[in-house]
Chain A
Amino acid sequence: MKPESPKQGASLEEVLEDQNEYKYGWTTDIETDKFRKGLDEGIVRAISEKKNEPQFMLDFRLKAYKKWLTMKPPAWPNVNYPPIDFQDISYYAEPKPKKKLESLDEVDPEILRTFEKLGIPLDEQKRLSNVAVDAVFDSVSVATTHKKKLMEHGIIFCSISEAVGEYPELVEEYLGSVVPAGDNFYAALNSAVFSDGSFVYIPPDTISPMELSTYFRINTEDTGQFERTMIICAENSYVSYLEGCTAPQFDTNQLHAAVVELVTLDNAEIKYSTVQNWYSGDRETGKGGIYNFVTKRGKCQGEKSKISWTQVETGSAITWKYPSCILQGDKSVGEFYSVALTNGLMQADTGTKMIHIGKDTKSTIISKGISADKSSNSYRGQVKVNKGADNARNYSQCDSMLVGDKSSAHTFPYIESANSSAHLEHEASTSKISEDQLFYFQSRGISRENAISAVINGFCKEVFKQLPMEFAVEAEKLLSLKLEDSVG
């Protein structure tokens, strides 16, 4: 910790008022192939055709599209935004030229530079040897590193398009098995038009020798990003998966409607961590920013299997996201650890669903919401215990922290239990960073910036400790950066 030059008479509000400077707000100048705007059956067919998909994929898409036509965007989240014109979005964009890339050397150097600038060098040599990366640029996966090494363990880690071509039986078996095509408005849309994403299969009795990660980057202005991630972890296997996201700064809103499906078989465990830092729009006017409408769900299909979601949500104009667990296998375990930070005019409605079906299933929910400026931060969580779920247990803890006095925090817990042997515990708290707390630090020679970080990190400790080491450090930095400008 280096002593910072003192900031003259900064009020709490001033310290917090940083950063209209979003560090990742630039675009990469490369030619993209983009479909005309709008969505109809022709576009859906064209996407499928462009990707040379087998019939089952086209059928899946068309079914989803037809379902979508009958659906309406959800009105229940605690967020406000003008209706989205779904005909004013381009549903597919890919860097030109489109040809199958044999190695990293063939990736457009501009794109490689983009990822490097984002701190994700794709050059395998330079890559940390314990993380494999799938990089998704607009709609298309541009590079997956460490494939060979993973293959030696029988682990499949590739783009989902590639998986459709090479492992169609796996994709057909699991696609839509956790998030059905018509699950909700945005999931249906994604199912109809999803372009790419990551695919992971961990064979039985395998502990992945490295962390797997996907990095999403939206580059083009009026395209939506609809990626789809599938992770299947077979018996007695384990994988830790990381997801990161950024987007350039545009005055218009971009739609990001992703679907993530996880499946664990007997004794398997998936640890899924996200650090989301999409552009959140102008801090003063709210102009621009990503609409992050995501459906993430995991199914603990096998006995004693476990799915653990950890998310640090710091960006997006609007976040609508409930990573959930279906605890189907007996003794299966679901976990949700979340930090959601909102500032400026951001709105977040996020939380989880834990659905207890199997016996002796257990779930834990730890949610930390931080709202600053004029933002609104809602936790929405459901714990549902089905009739046959004997001895289900849930522990939920939802804490909110308000920074300044114009922000708001809301908690919407829903508990439904059809089995009287269930043990459900819920705790909630709201606190505030006060001027007196910051002054206390300062009176001991600690800068306001470090004081804010210390209080925020203290508040988020339980969640951060779930993250892989480098990610935890990154997340701490990101939060501090969002809450104090004066350092930079």
Chain B
Amino acid sequence: MLEIKDLHAGFEGTEIIKGVDLTIKKGEVHAIMGPNGSGKSTLSKVLAGHPDYEVTGGTVTYEGKNLLDMEPEARALEGIFMGFQYPVEIPGVNNSEFLRMAYNARLLYKDPDAEEIDPLDFEEILDAKMKLVEMDHKYKERFLNDGFSGGEKKKNEILQMAILEPKLAILDETDSGLDIDALKAVSQGINRLISGENAVILITHYQRLLEYIQPHFVHVMSAGKIVKSGEKDLALQLEAQGYDWLTAPAT
């Protein structure tokens, strides 16, 4: 589904991603761990097409297409979802209207002749999904992420994911900031999404999340590269030993 080959990318001339290779197949869950500042968020933003970052080398193929050629909205419409580490606040824009816009954009992309969803029908879908992630209805009428607590923002990301039903979800530290109940709810939400057809990249610092969501692969990113890949037990090892044994002589 996704094939990243020797990807180099950076910000205003500084290289942050320094040659990443990663292959993700349908139905797989990949966890990416690694020290602060190692480039995990940058990698996910590059995959989502953030204009601040410049790709300086390598290729990314998504479902047979050159992902790097696609506009950010086209990537989203083709089924990539990015759950932000720091979701931005957008005052003035109503949360449920935003969700409906996104839903309609997807709907019309799949079928240009389709009609936009009836707001009342959408309401029903929204209510069901909010239940799924255990989110209170009052967040529907709030402005998008505006004044949301850290955990509420993360839940709102998962709500969006549940509504957009992406093929590939890249979740950047979605677990950080969630309380224990919320973590369970969010994990359940993610688990429900994982089916034979979808794939998930989980960026996380905590092995705890991986108790709820079983990853098929665990990768360690350090200084802009994936320095180690393994299976679930790698996460346990990292939890016990930290990153030093991997990062010290890496360059």
Contacts and interface: CB of A to CB of B under 8 A. Distances in A.
Contacts of A9: 51, 71
B38 to A, nearest CB: 21
A442 interface: yes
A458 B143 contact: yes
Chain A interface residue count: which class?
20 to 34
B84 A442 contact: no
A454 B104 CA distance: 14
A50 interface: no
Interface in A439-469: 439-448, 450, 454-455, 457-459, 461
Most interface-central of B50, B75, B84, B88 (chain A CB within 10 A): B88
Interface string B48-67: 11111000000000000000
Given A440-B87, A443-B48, A444-B160, A2 B112 contact: yes
Interface string B70-87: 111111110001101001
A195 B76 CA distance: 57
B147 interface: no
Contact of B105 (A7, A435, A439, A444): A444
Contacts of B74: 6
B90 A440 contact: yes
A9 B53 CA distance: 12
A446 B90 contact: no
Contacts of B98: 441, 444, 454
Given A6-B74, A445-B73, A446-B73, A437 B102 contact: no
Nearest to B160: A444
A454 B93 contact: yes
A1 interface: yes
A446 B93 contact: no
B112 A439 contact: no
Nearest to B75: A443
A459 B92 contact: yes
A268 to B, nearest CB: 34
Interface string A1-23: 11100111101000000000000
B104 A1 contact: yes
A458 B101 contact: no
Nearest to A429: B91
A435 B52 contact: yes
B51 A439 contact: yes
Contact of B71 (A7, A434, A437): A7
B51 A431 contact: no
Contact of B109 (A431, A434, A445): A445
B141 to A, nearest CB: 13
B105 A458 contact: no
A470 interface: no
Chain B interface residue count: which class?
35 or more
A77 to B, nearest CB: 29
B125 to A, nearest CB: 15
A436 B94 CA distance: 17
Nearest to A462: B92
Contacts of A457: 92
A432 to B, nearest CB: 11
B77 A3 contact: yes
B108 A443 contact: no
Given A440-B88, A446-B105, A455-B90, A3 B160 contact: no
Contacts of A437: 88, 90
Given A9-B51, A434-B88, A454-B98, A442 B108 contact: no
B106 interface: yes
Contacts of B226: none
A447 B105 CA distance: 9
Interface string B163-203: 01000000000000000000000000000000000000000
Most interface-central of A3, A431, A457 (chain B CB within 10 A): A3
A396 B55 CA distance: 48
A425 B98 CA distance: 32
A450 B73 CA distance: 11
Most interface-central of A6, A436, A442, A444 (chain B CB within 10 A): A444
Contacts of A459: 92
Contacts of B84: 440, 443
Contact of B92 (A434, A450, A458): A458
Interface in B92-139: 92-94, 97-98, 101-102, 104-106, 108-109, 112, 116
11 contacts: A1-B108, A8-B71, A11-B51, A439-B51, A443-B48, A445-B106, A446-B101, A446-B102, A448-B73, A454-B93, A458-B94
The 5 closest A-B pairs by CB, nearest first: A458-B92, A6-B71, A445-B76, A442-B72, A444-B102
Interface of A: 1-3, 6-9, 11, 431, 434-437, 439-448, 450, 454-455, 457-459, 461
Given A7-B71, A442-B73, A454-B98, 15 more contacts: A1-B101, A1-B104, A1-B105, A2-B108, A6-B74, A435-B51, A440-B90, A443-B76, A443-B82, A450-B101, A450-B105, A455-B92, A458-B91, A458-B143, A459-B92
